[in-house]
Amino acid sequence: MRVLMVASEAAPFAKTGGLADVAGALPSALARLGCDVTLVVPAYREVFAKGLPVEPTGLSFEVPMGARRLEARIFGGRLPGDAARVYFVANDGCFDRPTLYGGPRDYADNAERFIFFARAALEFAGREERPFDILHCHDWQAGLVPAYQKLVYRGWPMLAGARTVMTIHNMAYQGWFWHWDMLLTGFDWRYFNWRQMECHGQLNFLKTGLVFADAITTVSPTYAREIQQSPGGCGLDGVLAVRSDAITGIVNGIDTAAWDPATDPYLPRGYGPDDVVAGKRAARRSLAERLGREIAEDVPLVALVGRLVEQKGIDLVIEMLGRMAGGGRARFVILGTGSVDTEEALGRLAAEHPGVINVVIGFDEGLAHLLFAAADVVLVPSRYEPCGLTQLYALRYGAIPIVRATGGLVDTVVDATPESLGDGRASGFVFDAFDARALERALERALDAHGDRDLWDGLVRGAMARDWSWDTSAREYVRLFERVRAAPPVDVH
Ligand code: ADP
Ligand code: GLC
């Protein structure tokens, strides 16, 4: 089965969040199951700055953009492990910029940038020598691909027989644009209606993908249910409810080669379940050096790695820290970037409690790995969470996650109760209400458990033994691809 995967970021080439981890690992997992996978991502400045092997292919072509044409130049590389090809769409005007999407404000021309990307991905695939069976599109940035395949490229032999799968990683980011951007897309205005591309007067890229794709997936079964209602659907719950038969929730896996505490190049020393205590001690020393601060060995280390945005529940953490920092029960390290207000509020807390809280503002892959290794506990108190990957990295690195019962966090973490501890299913601490007190109580429970050496050791060993590799989920994707391939395409007329 030939799969074209279209994503706006992929590790290790360009990353702002979990989408990159998925797009960087799923192609290889599908390839291990016999799929022939080609991944297409934009050639951002970051892609070239990493020093990874990315070479020009010599292929270039023009992509229509309203009345103009933009040149796409194609670069090629391989994903780590060599199982899948990755192609990069270059256009300096669109992608040679300091960040992927802009920030703090989005780039004003993001509609144009990702219209260009979606069309260029298809123009590239249409010039390949063998036809594609599946076009697997991720998030709003690839949201126009299913519509382009059905409306514009349906006569291209390499694309005509393909089925399209739209994967939602986050309903809150939909790619809403000015209606006049329709002119850039080249689509007929008749598709700008409330059933198809339009949403409250705007052009909506994700909605377009959800309407035109032959199948829809999202990154956990619980989130698949949440988005078919308000508020989880972020205004598109009606669109999703109409297509509920086409929606599947498939939980994300993790790249067990890139995230392996035994071989992780970012750690001072590798470790496994048998020497996790020594491994964590070494990681903690190296973290202390990085931070320029001492970290006491006998105080539990609580970490959070993530985008500092409303979704991630940082407001709960700030309130909880205000009460707990003085108590001396734990040491906290937070790594993230995001909203200026949140960054400043965390900075103030860290300044008030220098020996207790460290806040590192920035995106630092190596430090993230080191933190999961050094930590005893990892916080994921999200307001909503489609899947979440940091709780999975925590488990693999022997840190116990504290999560709120939402989305993929429900599907991946089992709350420690006498019963689940007894039968070995417990893997973390789960709280329900989106409330700082509830988070605090869950953390207190974790810290109490940490005080019981045997109980904690059992929990850590159980966490590290869990298999979150991509194998199971990749098999689900293959089954889905086979199903959609056998069915007729969705009727969009
Ligand atoms: P989301 O995609 O919503 O940001 P996920 O938990 O799925 O959340 O994935 C986040 C990914 O980004 C993880 O690999 C996490 O380690 C990484 N990450 C987030 N913030 C940072 C940061 N400041 N530095 C390094 N890695 C980060
Ligand atoms: C999104 C979600 C996150 C998910 C990631 C990868 O960014 O916020 O929950 O893990 O995509 O699917």
**Of the ligands numbered here, which is closest to the C-alpha atom of 392?**
1
Domains plus CATH for the chain? 2-253+472-486 (3.40.50.2000), 273-467 (3.40.50.2000)
- How many whole angstroms from 18 Cα to the centroid of ligand 2? 5
**Of the ligands numbered here, which is closest to the C-alpha atom of 384?**
2
| Residue 83's pLDDT band (cuts 50, 70, 90) | confident
Q: Which candidate, 364, 376, 342, places its Cα nearest to that of 291?
A: 364
- How many whole angstroms from 408 Cα to the centroid of ligand 1? 15
Give the pLDDT confidence of 381-434 residue by residue, as tens digits: 999 999 999 999 999 999 999 999 999 999 999 999 999 999 999 999 999 999
Mutate to test the pocket of ligand 1, among 343, 363, 384, 387 (most ligand atoms within 8 A of CB): 363
Mutate to test the pocket of ligand 2, among 21, 170, 384, 409 (most ligand atoms within 8 A of CB): 170
Q: Which residues line ligand 2 (CB under 6 A)?
A: 17-19, 22, 169-170, 219, 252, 385-389, 408
| Residue 298's pLDDT band (cuts 50, 70, 90) | confident
CA geometry: angle 135, 137, 143, nearest 5 deg: 120
- How many whole angstroms from 64 Cα to the centroid of ligand 1? 34
Mean pLDDT of the chain: 97
SS3 per-residue string spanning the chain: CEEEEECCCECCCECCCHHHHHHHHHHHHHHHCCCEEEEEEECCHHHHHCCCCCEEEEEEEEEEECCEEEEEEEEEEECCCCCCEEEEEECHHHHCCCCCCECCCECCCHHHHHHHHHHHHHHHHHCCCCCCCEEEEECHHHCCHHHHHHHCCCCCHHHHCCEEEEEECCCCCCCEECHHHHHHHCCCHHHCCCCCCEECCEEEHHHHHHHHCCEEEECCHHHHHHCCCCCCCCCCHHHHHHCHHHEEECCCCECCCCCCCCCCCCCCCCCCHHHHHHHHHHHHHHHHHHHCCCCCCCCCEEEEECCECHHHCHHHHHHHHHHHHHHCCCEEEEEECECHHHHHHHHHHHHHCCCCEEEEECCCHHHHHHHHHHCCEEEECCCCCCCCCHHHHHHHCCCEEEEECCHHHHHHCCECCHHHHHCCCCCEEEECCCCHHHHHHHHHHHHHHHCCHHHHHHHHHHHHHCCCECHHHHHHHHHHHHHHHHCCCCCCC
**Of the ligands numbered here, which is closest to the C-alpha atom of 394?**
1
Q: Please tell me the predicted confidence (pLDDT) of residue 478.
A: 98
Q: Please tell me the predicted confidence (pLDDT) of residue 297.
A: 84
Cβ-based neighbours of 356, under 8 Å, separated by 6 or more: 325, 326, 328, 331, 332
- How many whole angstroms from 168 Cα to the centroid of ligand 2? 9
**Of the ligands numbered here, which is closest to the C-alpha atom of 168?**
2
Phi, psi of 316 (to 5 degrees): -65, -40
| Residue 82's pLDDT band (cuts 50, 70, 90) | confident
**Of the ligands numbered here, which is closest to the C-alpha atom of 314?**
1
Give the pLDDT confidence of 441-468 residue by residue, as tens digits: 999 999 999 999 999 999 999 999 999 9
- How many whole angstroms from 444 Cα to the centroid of ligand 2? 27
Q: Whose CA is nearest to atom 12 of ligand 1?
A: 17
Query: Rounded distance, CA 291 to CA 281, Å?
Result: 15
Burial (CB count <10 Å: 0-12, 13-18, 19+), residue 227: buried
- How many whole angstroms from 368 Cα to the centroid of ligand 1? 8
Q: Please tell me the predicted confidence (pLDDT) of residue 422.
A: 93
Q: Please tell me the predicted confidence (pLDDT) of residue 65.
A: 98
Give the pLDDT confidence of 118-158 residue by residue, as tens digits: 999 999 999 999 999 999 999 999 999 999 999 999 999 99
Which atom of ligand 1 sits closest to the CA of residue 22?
Answer: 7
Residue 148: how many CA atoms within 13 Å on its side-chain side?
28
Q: Find tokens 């599947």 and name the residue.
A: 248
Residue pair 346/334 in contact (Cβ under 8 Å)? The answer is yes
Q: Please tell me the predicted confidence (pLDDT) of residue 493.
A: 82
Neighbours of 213 (CB within 10 A): 29
Q: Whose CA is nearest to atom 1 of ligand 2?
A: 169
pLDDT tops 90 at residue 296 = no
Q: Please tell me the predicted confidence (pLDDT) of residue 293.
A: 87
Q: Whose CA is nearest to atom 22 of ligand 1?
A: 363
Residue pair 443/436 in contact (Cβ under 8 Å)? The answer is no
Q: Please tell me the predicted confidence (pLDDT) of residue 8.
A: 98
Give the pLDDT confidence of 233-284 residue by residue, as tens digits: 999 999 999 999 999 999 999 999 999 999 999 999 999 999 999 999 999 9
- How many whole angstroms from 20 Cα to the centroid of ligand 2? 9
Query: Rounded distance, CA 228 to CA 214, Å?
Result: 17
- How many whole angstroms from 298 Cα to the centroid of ligand 2? 34
Q: Which candidate, 23, 182, 24, 8, places its Cα nearest to that of 107?
A: 8
Q: Please tell me the predicted confidence (pLDDT) of residue 321.
A: 97
| Residue 103's pLDDT band (cuts 50, 70, 90) | confident
Q: Whose CA is nearest to atom 14 of ligand 1?
A: 18
Q: Which residues line ligand 1 (CB under 6 A)?
A: 17-19, 21, 305-307, 335-337, 363-365, 368, 387-390
- How many whole angstroms from 17 Cα to the centroid of ligand 2? 7
Give the pLDDT confidence of 362-374 residue by residue, as tens digits: 999 999 999 999 9
Query: Rounded distance, CA 142 to CA 105, Å?
Result: 20
N residues, the chain: 493
